Every structure is written in C-alpha cells, then in structure tokens.
Amino acid sequence: TLFVFDLWDDSEDGQIDQQELTNLISAMYYRAGINDQKGEWNPKKRAKEIIAKLDISGDKKLSKQEFVNGCRNDPVIYGLLVSR
C-alpha cells in the first residue's frame, strides 16, 4: 500500500492530491481494460469522491495515513487503488 502511495505521489510532498489520484485511477482503469471512462468511470469524479471520503484533515489531499486507513477500511477503494 505504501509503495503505491509513494509511486503516485508525483510531487513527492507526502500527500496525494486530486490530480495525482486521478492519474492513479486512470492508470488502474487502463490496466483493467476499462476504456470508457465516462459517468461512474470518470477518474476525476472518482478521485474527488475518494478524497471526500478519506480526507480526515480537510486539506483536499490524502496523507499516507489517510490513504492507508482508506485502503484498510474500504475494500472497494483498496481494490481500485492497489493493483494486484
């Protein structure tokens, strides 16, 4: 889980912002063969929803701890964010 976090923290600031999360989700969709990324599959929309759900501090970014907690507590988010 931490490897995935570090891999997608492009700015290397110890947080994943909405754009970084959008990039992660787009890559996961691509890997899963999901080519129609509209509606429920829109990566930007999904990133916004995930940040709203997991961002405890309210800074609209995910810290490592928020990311780990989200993956541990929500199997859907875990499955989306952590490739197997």
Query: Percent of the chain at pLDDT above 70?
Result: 94
Q: What pLDDT score was predicted for residue 20?
A: 95
Q: 72 falls in which pLDDT band (50, 70, 90)?
A: confident
Strand pairing partners for 62? 16
- Domain ranges (residues) in the chain: 2-81
**Burial class of 44 by CB neighbour count within 10 A (0 to 12, 13 to 18, 19+):** middle
pTM attached to this predicted model: 0.84
Strand pairing partners for 16? 62
Average pLDDT over residues 18-25: 93
d(CA 63, CA 17): 9
Average pLDDT over residues 62-67: 95
d(CA 49, CA 51): 6
CB atoms within 10 A of CB 60: 12
Pick the CATH number of 2-81 from 1.10.238.10, 2.60.40.10, 3.30.230.10, 1.10.645.10: 1.10.238.10
Q: With a cut of 90, say whether residue 84 has pLDDT above it.
A: no
